[in-house]
Homo-oligomer: A and B are copies of this chain.
Amino acid sequence: MDEFALIDAVVEVLGDRAGGDWIAVGPGDDAAVIDVSPGHQLVASIDALIAGVHFPADAPARLIGYRALMVSLSDVAAMAATPRYVLVSLTLPEPDVSWCRELALGMRDAAQAADVYLCGGNFSRGELAIHVSAHGEISAGEALTRSGAQPGDGVFVSGELGGAAACVRQRDFEFTEPLRPQQFRYMCPQARFDVAPALRGDASAAIDVSDGLAQDLAHISRASGVRVDITADSVPVHPDATLEDALYGGDDYEIACTGPRAPEGFVRIGEVSAGGGVWIDGARFEQRGYNHFSA
C-alpha cells in the first residue's frame, strides 16, 4: 500500500463529495479548480486537529473525520458565509487504509451535511493529525467579523452550551452506538450554517464558540474595542453540562454574536458597552479558555 493507493481509496470513499457543480477540477491534479461566482468574496480558514489534543486517537475514525471537517467549517459559519470546499492534509504514523476509509466516510457525512466538496488533500507520514483548510463564499462586504460590536448591542448565542465540555471533563470517550447526548455534542457538532441568513440580517459581530464562551467573547471584546457583560443565568446550558462547562468549555461550535436585536433562533445573554473586557455577573473574566501554549 503506497501513498497513491491511499489517495485512490480515499477519493473512492468520498464519491460525489470529491467534486462536482462548482468544482472544475477535483482531487488528483496539482491543485483543485473552483468556479467563483461574480460579486462574491471567499472566506478561508485553516485548522489543525492533533490526536490526543483535539480528539481521542482511539475514537471511531468516522466520528473523527466528521468532527474534523465540521469544526473547521464552523469558522466559515461564524462569518455567515456559504460553505463551498475544504482541503485536508493528513499525517499518519502508518498507512492504514481501512482507518482512512472510515475517516473519509465521516468527512463525506460532514461534507454532505454542509453541502461542500472535499476537493483536494495530501498524505504524509507523521504523528496522527488532520489539517483542514475550509472555504466559503459570501456577497462582497457581508462577512461578519469579530470587530463589528457596538456599545448598545445585545449579546446572543445560537443554542445550548457545555455539552461537549462535559464529555471532555468526564473523559467520556468510550464511544458506543448510540452516542450519549454529551458524546454526541463533542463528536458530532453541527456548524451553524442554518443561522447565516439571520446573522447577516441582524448581527454586528460573530464568532463560533470553540475556545469557550467567555474566551470567545473576549476575542470579540478585543477586536471590537468594547466591554461585554453577560448574565450567567441567561446562558443556555446543555442538560448534561454544568454552568462552568457552558461558560468556559469549548468545542460546542454554536455561534455567539452581537447586534441591535436577537437574530432569529438566538438567545440574549448580555449587552455591549463602551470599555473593555468580558464581565460575567459583574466580575471580570480572566482568560481560562483553551490555549495551546499556555502554561
Residues A293 and B30 in contact in the complex (CB < 8 Å), given A89-B131, A91-B48? no
A147 interface neighbour in B29, B37, B137, Cβ under 8 Å: B29
12 pairs of residues in contact across A and B, judged by CB atoms under 8 Å: A24-B140, A24-B143, A25-B79, A30-B76, A31-B44, A32-B44, A35-B42, A36-B137, A45-B87, A48-B126, A94-B293, A127-B127
For the complex with contacts A33-B41, A35-B42, A54-B124, 12 further pairs of A-B residues with Cβ separation under 8 Å are A1-B293, A3-B293, A4-B291, A25-B145, A30-B76, A31-B44, A33-B143, A35-B140, A44-B120, A44-B135, A47-B89, A50-B126
Q: Tell me whether B34 and A41 are in contact (CB under 8 A).
A: yes
Given contact pairs A29-B79, A44-B31, A140-B35, A3 touches B294 in the complex (Cβ within 8 A): yes
Given A44-B120, A48-B124, A85-B44, also A31-B78 (CB < 8 A): yes
A46 with B76, Cβ < 8 A, contacts A39-B38, A133-B87 known:
no
Q: CA of A31 to CA of B81 in the docked complex: distance in angstroms?
A: 10
Tell me the nearest residue of chain B to A94, going by C-beta. B293
> Given that A3-B291, A124-B53 are known contacts, is A223 also in contact with B47, CB under 8 Å in the complex?
no
Q: Check if A233 is an interface residue, CB within 8 A of chain B.
A: no
User: Which residues of B lie under 8 Å from residue A168 when comparing CB positions?
Assistant: none
Q: A133 and B46: CB pair below 8 A?
A: yes
How many of chain A's residues have a CB under 8 angstroms from any CB in B? 74
Q: Which residue of chain B is the closest to A78 with respect to CB atoms?
A: B30
Within 8 A of B (CB), among A170-206: 206
Q: Complex formed: what's the CA distance from A176 to B94 in Å?
A: 35
Within the complex, what minimum Cβ distance (angstroms) separates A133 from chain B?
A: 4
Q: How far is it, in angstroms, between the C-alpha of A121 and the C-alpha of B30 when the chains are bound?
A: 22
Complex Cα gap A34–B29 (Å): 23
What are the residues of chain B within 8 A of A31 when measuring CB–CB? Answer: 43-45, 75-76, 78-79, 81, 134, 136
